[in-house]
């Protein structure tokens, strides 16, 4: 991996998205005038996601291999039935949401509460309703840079047409009430047929529950990294989607199938975190609670402090370290690109300190007793 990746102050600032930087769009989708769905707020932080509005603000457009956005809505407001071609993951950061799926929304229901994560299978209709406080909030990730867009449930398209809204095959929202004219040479999206719906996959409640990582389901490793027993290390990791960057050979994720990205919860006690390391994938750090200090580069260090709901996109190959600088346990989501494991490279000083403590990483990238790992000139 090249040693030439240096993050400047300006680049770090460009890649830092504060909670105060989020900009909502209430005209992002074709159901924006449907009663019961007309008070949704849609956000796009990393990548445009599947927004159908040219007015959607995107905080960081640089391709990451996945998109990050959010949906906020008052109590009783619904996100209507739709399906995706790539992975869609919901992260409940506040409130309670009733998740439902199936062509008519009656195949199954489950409730998401604060801290829960749900990975929705591709090619099934899904929707959700805020059944909690008025300020309910779901962050979302969508797999891959090009998501392919959305297929809306037939009833959603028919009702939208009654409110003057149409959708082109290219995903452009046409608002005839606002004066838009459907282009004569452009095909408009029509409801899919009953036969096509019958051919879609189905999921039982038990199958879907397996794709939800509730807070009670999380299994944190106390030693997920080479630096776990070193001063300044000590962060704990709970895998949610994919194996990600764990170095604990005993850890397994809640959800296995490819998403184009992997997801894990990282938590640390005050003054603990992760010592300098790097890897070759994109990475977004999204803070759930507490105050984190992220230091980039081994030399000419640049430091970014992140509070609740702030996020930082770390460039591929950049050195980074993480530290909880608050008075209580702090938690963040770590989202990395790719479907495979994320192999960490540790700073030489960390490797030496770990060796002194009797641990190393083996040739498979997992923690092992130092005395049993063969040493070679390039390790």
Closest of 235, 52, 73 to residue 148, by C-alpha: 52
pLDDT tens-digit series, residues 76-86: 988 889 999 99
pLDDT tens-digit series, residues 273-323: 999 999 999 999 999 999 999 999 999 999 999 999 999 999 999 999 999
Candidates 2.60.120.10, 3.60.21.10, 3.90.1150.10, 3.10.110.10; CATH matching 218-372: 2.60.120.10
Question: In 48-137, which ranges are continuous DSSP H helix?
Answer: none
21-213 shares its CATH topology with 218-372? yes
Which residues on adjacent β-strands are paired with residue 43? 70
Domain limits, the chain: 21-213, 218-372
Question: What's the whole-model pTM score?
Answer: 0.91
In CATH, 21-213 is 3.50.30.50: no
247 within 8 A of 297, measured Cβ to Cβ: no
pLDDT tens-digit series, residues 321-376: 999 999 999 999 999 999 999 999 999 999 999 999 999 999 999 999 999 999 87
**292-296 and 320-324 beta bridge pairing:** antiparallel
Statement: residue 251 has pLDDT above 70: yes
């Amino acid at each position: 991996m090249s040693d030439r990746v240096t993050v400047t102050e300006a680049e770090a600032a460009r890649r830092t998205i504060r909670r105060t930087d989020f900009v909502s769009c209430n005209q992002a989708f074709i159901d924006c005038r449907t009663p019961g769905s007309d008070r949704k707020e849609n956000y796009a932080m990393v990548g445009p996601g599947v927004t159908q509005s040219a007015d959607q603000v995107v905080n960081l457009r640089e391709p990451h291999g996945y998109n990050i956005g959010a949906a906020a809505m008052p109590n009783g407001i619904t996100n209507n039935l739709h399906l995706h071609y790539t992975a869609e993951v919901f992260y409940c950061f506040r409130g309670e949401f009733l998740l439902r799926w199936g062509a008519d929304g009656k195949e199954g229901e489950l409730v998401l509460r604060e801290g829960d994560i749900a990975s929705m299978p591709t090619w099934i209709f899904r929707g959700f309703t805020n059944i909690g406080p008025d300020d309910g909030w779901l962050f979302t990730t969508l797999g891959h840079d090009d998501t392919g867009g959305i297929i809306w449930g037939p009833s959603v398209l028919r009702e939208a047409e009654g409110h003057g809204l149409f959708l082109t095959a290219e995903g452009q929202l046409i608002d005839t009430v606002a004066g838009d004219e459907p282009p004569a040479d452009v095909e408009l999206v029509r409801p899919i047929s009953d036969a096509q719906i019958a051919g879609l996959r189905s999921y039982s409640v038990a199958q879907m529950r397996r794709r939800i990582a509730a807070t009670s389901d999380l299994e944190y490793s106390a030693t997920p990294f080479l630096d776990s027993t070193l001063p300044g290390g000590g962060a704990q990791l709970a895998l949610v989607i994919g194996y990600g960057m764990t170095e604990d050979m005993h850890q397994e994720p809640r959800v296995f199938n490819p998403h184009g990205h992997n997801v894990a919860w990282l938590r640390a006690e005050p003054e603990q975190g992760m010592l300098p390391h790097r890897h070759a994938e994109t990475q977004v750090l999204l803070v759930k609670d507490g105050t984190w200090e992220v230091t980039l580069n081994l030399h000419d260090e640049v430091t970014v402090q992140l509070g609740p709901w702030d996020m930082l996109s770390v460039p591929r190959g950049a050195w980074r370290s993480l530290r909880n600088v608050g008075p209580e346990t702090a938690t963040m989501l770590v989202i990395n690109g790719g479907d495979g494991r994320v192999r960490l490279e540790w700073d030489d000083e960390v490797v030496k300190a770990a060796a002194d403590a009797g641990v190393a990483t083996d040739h498979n990238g997992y923690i092992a007793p130092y005395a049993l790992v063969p040493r070679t000139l390039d390790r």
